[in-house]
Structure 1
Amino acid sequence: MTAPGPAASDVLAALRREEHSRLLATLASRFGDLDLAEDAAQDALEAAIETWPRTGVPDSPLAWLTTTATRKAIDRLRREKALTERLARLRVEEDRRTSAPLVRAVVEPDEIPDDRLELFFACCHPTLKTDEQVALILRYLGGLTTMEIAHAFLLPVTTVQQRLVRAKKRLRVTRIPIRTPGPEDLPARLPAVLAVIYLIFTEGYAATTGDGHLRGDLTTEAIRLARIVHRLVPGQPEATGLLALLLLTEARAPARVDDEGLPVPLREQDRDRWDRLLADEGLGLAMEAAAGGPGPYSVQASIAAVHAESRDVESTDWAQIVVLYDLLLALVPGPVVRMARAVAVGRRDGPETGLQQLDALAGEAELERHHPFHEARATTLEELGRGDEARRAWARAHQLTENASEREYLVRRWWDA
């Protein structure tokens, strides 16, 4: 153990940010009850707050919390009338999980995913609606806050809170067991799991809050999970497309912030700094996914591939990108896709047309709350020499942003407009 002192609070703060979701995943997998896992995890954290400043931080803080939380969960079960039944069910589930791990039939033992990914699939029970599945996993197993989930869905925070409450209530009322599904259940649950991985990556790609623009911990974890899923379902175009999309996007990371940590938009990035190994791997996977037919992730991977193959913004095949966005709109119509298509049309046909396309979307409530929409308008207005309007658009984007590096970037763009 380390010496007692302030280090305990620092370790606990880091655990809350980085490992709380893993602790919940382990407990929920062990006990099959998300509410019990939450309560036990909170009990363990409170015990650590009381104990570690006196005794020092354990050599393995997460292991200490897991052991303590497990004991706390059993203590809670002892206070229930149905203790014997619950413990018996727990033992049966443990035996079943040990004897038949997830997708043993389709992957080699060393490729079996970890408990966290197993629980992603387990929480995608068909009794829950897809949006409930995704929100539940992101909040309690993916490590995202309610605000970050709201940002991902372009929804008010209160709406996401209500969605989480409904999902947890449905779990309680229907007594849905959180157990690892068999291989036959994977296809039906795959879309929600892919959506979770995609949204975890998206939050890491452009952090909603905090000081830094990027969160490498989230993008790295999302790519790791995407690789496992890709091995789980070989030949599945959307799993391949998602991995391709994440790799092609992550390849730009070295050029996406400047020396001060401020965002660098795509048009200004030094493409010589892009990670060519990741890009080449992503390009190969994007071609493989496209051969399997169009799907939301495979089409997005194709769009990212066009960017990866272009030397700069001017030489990008914007006509092809517009066609791909048209295809994507037919698959998953939504405000962000419409916004991205409008930007692409502006690149193809000129800023005046681009502004007309963006202004046609101005009445959509989701985009009004979405700061990249106002950034896109501001950039287009600058290209047209309409500085006063551009400054108003930069100011609106700044109002909607909680991330410190993004706010500083937007202030500078407002000043320079």
Structure 2
Amino acid sequence: MTVEEELRTLAPQVLGILIRRYGQFDACEDAVQEALLAAALQWPSEGVPANPRGWLITVAVRRLTDQFRSDDARRRREQTLATLEPPPAQDAPAHDDTLTLLFLCCHPALSPASQLALTLRAVGGLTTAEIASAFFVPEATMAQRISRAKAKIKSAGARFAPPPPDEREQRLEVVLQVLYLMFNEGYTASSGADLHRGDLTAEAIRLTREVHRLLPDDGEVAGLLALMLLTDARRPARARPDGAIVPLADQDRTLWLRPMIDEGTELITRTLPKAPPGPYQLQAAIAAVHDEAATAGETDWPQIVALYQLLARVAPNPMATLSHAVALAMAKGPSAGLRLLATLDADDRMASHHRLAAVRAHLLEMSGSPAEAREWYSLAAKRATSLPEQRYLQQKADAIQVP
């Protein structure tokens, strides 16, 4: 493990310890960031200390003490610190606060965008500049969003503690949604010149591994990790050297990352029989069927259709319906896929989405309706905000020969 990787793993643990002991999210995070910077400068040349987490805690507490001393309420806070002596490095708590910190960052009082930004900052260890770059907003804007998120958590009276038992399942669902959103934004960037943001997908997988380590018996956590691994395994074949998108059916499957496929397949195979499957487990099972096919022609489309039918009952979702329509077209013909696709026309969430237009174009092309397919490909290209997707869809439109 590199120094950078070790620091990213330790950062949420150290931040959790400080917040648990002293409160004050802002002050604790600033202190931890300074400790991480000190470690990044010293450890490569001086070596990683025997107790790296204890080292970071000690340095962060010193920084925190300095911050409190310079505050207007110095006397009161110093009295508080005097009664809460910093934990010695060798006696740092053995438990891991990463999951509690994730629950805090995904507090229901925050918007999804704020949950994601705060998770990347506090748990993922990304700088504000890196997060701003990932979402194509100015650094100052992202800094304000993160600052407002911390303030909102404070005003909501959130405590640094695991959620009550009656809230735990719902709060964990939010955590998984945030990690899933992080992965999807990295795997297919919603805007900008790059198709893929490797830093975001890698961070999403790392954090999901952490949650799985802490909750090894939770089927949906395992399902989400398997889904990420099985999907990200195809990354090397998704684009040509010039950045052009390569659709799944045309990808060179020898480029797929076999160790990730093996790990994801083993994980979902072990998890599915244990309990009624949730949406992440079902999506992982679908991804596994795709990844197990040596060629596109060997894909077991009837099995994928059956899994999508189950997913539609467990967790109806318009984006899943798009993929279900494609699978149905492959298994039973394009007319069947188009009929299912028509059920989305009245869905306000999908009315102007480029992917609805793109899937309709694809199915119309399959059905032998080139003129209509070309119109829908052109419309999809206009609606897309990702430059690689725009180029791909326009190329599809231009390639269609209309009699």
TM-score (norm 2): 0.72
2:400 is the alignment partner of 1:413: no
The answer as to whether partners of 1:240 and 1:285 remain within 8 angstroms in 2 is: yes
The answer as to whether partners of 2:106 and 2:119 remain within 8 angstroms in 1 is: no
Between the two proteins, the alignment pairs up a number of residues equal to 364
The answer as to whether partners of 2:117 and 2:131 remain within 8 angstroms in 1 is: no
2:383 is the alignment partner of 1:400: yes
Counterpart-to-counterpart distance in 2, 1:93 and 1:203: 42
Name the counterpart of 2:211. 229
2:234 is the alignment partner of 1:252: yes
Please tell me the residue identity of whatever aligns with 1:88: T
Q: 1:327 to 1:215 in 2, by over 3 A?
A: same
Q: C-alpha offsets along residues 110-153 of structure 1, whole Å, 9 cap, x if unaligned?
A: xxxxx76653233345x647958844645654569699889xxx
Counterpart-to-counterpart distance in 2, 1:213 and 1:391: 23
Please tell me the residue identity of whatever aligns with 1:381: L
Q: 1:176 to 1:74 in 2, by over 3 A?
A: farther
The answer as to whether partners of 1:137 and 1:196 remain within 8 angstroms in 2 is: no
SS at match of 1:176: coil
Q: C-alpha offsets along residues 209-253 of structure 1, whole Å, 9 cap, x if unaligned?
A: 232211111222222222222222223211221121111111111
2:189 is the alignment partner of 1:207: yes
Aligned counterparts, 1:16-55, within 5 A: 30=18, 32-34=23-25
- How big is the shift at 1:287? 0.6
- How big is the shift at 1:285? 0.8
Name the counterpart of 2:93. 100
Counterpart-to-counterpart distance in 2, 1:28 and 1:87: 22
Q: Which runs of 5+ in 1 are unaligned?
A: 1-18, 45-57, 104-114, 151-162
- How big is the shift at 1:75? 5.2
- How big is the shift at 1:340? 1.9
SS at match of 2:190: coil
Counterpart pick for 1:261 among 222, 238, 243? 243
Aligned counterparts, 1:137-156, within 5 A: 137-138=118-119, 140-141=121-122
- How big is the shift at 1:354? 1.2
- How big is the shift at 1:78? 4.5
Please tell me the residue identity of whatever aligns with 1:311: A
Aligned-pair identity in percent equals 36
Counterpart-to-counterpart distance in 1, 2:181 and 2:79: 35
TM-score (norm 1): 0.70
Counterpart-to-counterpart distance in 1, 2:13 and 2:376: 42
2:348 is the alignment partner of 1:365: yes
Counterpart-to-counterpart distance in 1, 2:329 and 2:308: 13
- How big is the shift at 1:373? 2.0
- How big is the shift at 1:324? 1.2
The answer as to whether partners of 1:134 and 1:195 remain within 8 angstroms in 2 is: no
2:174 is the alignment partner of 1:192: yes
Which deviates the most, 378-387 or 182-191?
182-191
- How big is the shift at 1:274? 1.5
The answer as to whether partners of 1:102 and 1:183 remain within 8 angstroms in 2 is: no
Q: 1:264 to 1:169 in 2, by over 3 A?
A: same
The answer as to whether partners of 2:14 and 2:32 remain within 8 angstroms in 1 is: no
Please tell me the residue identity of whatever aligns with 1:207: A
Q: CA RMSD in A?
A: 4.6
Name the counterpart of 1:333. 316
Q: C-alpha offsets along residues 15-65 of structure 1, whole Å, 9 cap, x if unaligned?
A: xxxx99x999977874644566799999x9xxxxxxxxxxxxx9849x9xx
Name the counterpart of 1:84. 76
- How big is the shift at 1:265? 1.2
